[in-house]
Structure 1
Amino acid sequence: MERLGECLRRYREAAGLSLSGLARKVNYSRGYLSKVETGRAPGNVQLAERCDDALGAGGVLAGLARAQLPDPRPAERAGSRDRAPGVSIGLLRQGGLDQAMSHRRPDEPLTTAGLSVSSAAAVAFMLALDEAHNALRAVARAELSPQARRDPANSALDEARVYAIRERLLVLVAAPLVSAAEAAFLRLIAVRDAVRAGARLDEAAYHQVYHPFAEALWTFRMALRVDLGQPPLTPDALGRQDWSDRERCRDCRKRDWPTT
């Protein structure tokens, strides 16, 4: 079977588009598209569908993307009739979730079994935000010039599928949870921008954007608990002063940095 990246490059070149031109049309970064074309990133169904539309590929790319998804485990196939309508294994896997919604074995870790479509989207977005932030930390730790940081910092959000999952969340989830999620997303964008500009992990420029993000992410988690019918937790219940992580931050304790 032809690889998605090879087919994508063939259709892009036939359309006379550069990687940058296609990136603008499908709202993915040039760096991520390059990785998909060269096989360094697997791509995903949503990207393939957008490229089908932009390149007039008639669904060929989306078909390849779906065909190249990992096969579900036998337990997943056996339980497929019992899943909530509209929730696919592909959607959960692409969102960073690693198991099916039903037929969880007793020895398997708890994931999204039994969640509604909207709750599953919110959990996927929470995990994507955390994954993207961890990738941004790696960029901030690396010895890179600001110019060399731009592509990996952008790719941190693309590869965690933050933008794609955010689109689902905006249309599936109730307003209070969307507001908390969007606040965390905007704080993550501030972290990305600071890292792109050269902020390092042990510098004030990073901590001034990281701690507001940490606080917003915890607020989103608590909003998700309420959405799932659980009482919210307080920082004190988890041995914290607040949700910002400042009191646990060694760099902040050693330096007298502004907190805003």
Structure 2
Amino acid sequence: MLPFVHTDAEQGAALRSGAADPATPSAMTEYAAAAAWTAAPVATCAVHGVVLRCRPSRRAGGVRMQWGTLVATLGGAVIAISGTVLADRLRTRQEVDRGLGARRREAYIDFIAAAGAAHTQLRRLAQAPDASTDLESASRAALTDARLYEVRERLFIDAGATVAGAGQAMFEQLRALRSAVAAGAPLSSPTFHDAYHPYIASVWAYRVAVRDELEGQPLVPAVFGWHAWDGKERCPLCNRDLAGTG
């Protein structure tokens, strides 16, 4: 008869050592089952570096794989791997968003700074016109020397749709001011101011769009005690003309 053992491993060891007596039919049946279990190979597999081992399980009706243990182990490995992949994707997305935000902020500042430099040069040309100066060439150079066209391309690449639209509107108003200066309009002329004030309004519209995108904060003329962004109410020339008309 087989000696009493507590585990399958002990049973197999007893059989291999000869301690068991497979003389009776029942003992011979159990001997064969135990021998088959002991000799069965250990199944191994790897899932993303996680090595899994599984030995067939002895049961009264024969030998079958411990599928419940295998499935549970595989499920745990999949959950762990999925969590790691998701965390990596979220971290990568955050890094990309931070990089885009930094590029946008830099492009927004560079664009308005370039437009301001070009505007300053146009005002100089209109303030002290020289008969020997080719105003057409000089006014075009004011935009080119400020690198406005180059910075505008960067704006179109990185900017959000609303800011890109506001930037293009500001660019077009600055070109209209350039055309007035090229035509010889003096700084104090109505022709210059008819182009100047729409440009100033577009500059503020651009600032409002950038502030809304980056900070989510509104900005209105009333914050500064104004009624409009174009600056006409603060312009001595325009107020004088309006008073004269009234």
Q: TM-score, normalised by structure 1?
A: 0.53
Q: CA RMSD in A?
A: 2.4
**The structure with more helix, counted as a fraction of residues:** 2
Cα 1:143–1:120 shift into 2, 3 Å: same
Do 2:129 and 2:184's aligned partners in 1 also have CA atoms closer than 8 Å? no
Q: What displacement does 1:146 show?
A: 9.1
Q: What displacement does 1:142 show?
A: 1.3
Equivalent-residue separation in structure 1 for 2:138 and 2:213 (angstroms): 34
Residue 109 (structure 2) pairs with residue 123 (structure 1)? yes
Cα 1:136–1:238 shift into 2, 3 Å: same
Q: Which amino acid aligns with 1:218?
A: W
Pick one of 99, 115, 129 that aligns with 1:143: 129
Matches within 5 A, 1:3-14: none
Residue 189 (structure 2) pairs with residue 203 (structure 1)? yes
Residue 241 (structure 2) pairs with residue 242 (structure 1)? no
Residue 132 (structure 2) pairs with residue 170 (structure 1)? no
Q: Which amino acid aligns with 1:254?
A: R
Percent identical pairs in the alignment equals: 34
Do 1:170 and 1:178's aligned partners in 2 also have CA atoms closer than 8 Å? yes
Q: Does 1 or 2 have the higher relative contact order (CA < 8 Å, sep 6+)?
A: 1
Deviations 1:82-102 (A, max 9, x none): xx99xxxxxxxxxxxxxxxxx
Q: Which runs of 4+ in 1 moved over 3 A?
A: none
Matches within 5 A, 1:87-166: 116-145=102-131, 148-166=134-152
Q: What displacement does 1:171 show?
A: 1.3
Q: Which amino acid aligns with 1:127?
A: A
Q: How many corresponding residue pairs?
A: 148
In the alignment, structure 2 segments of 5+ residues that lack a partner are 1-94
Task: Give the corresponding residue for 2:42.
Answer: none
Secondary structure of the residue that 1:200 maps to in structure 2? coil
Q: What displacement does 1:145 show?
A: 3.8
Q: Which has the larger radius of gyration?
A: 2
Q: What displacement does 1:233 show?
A: 1.0
Equivalent-residue separation in structure 2 for 1:174 and 1:230 (angstroms): 13
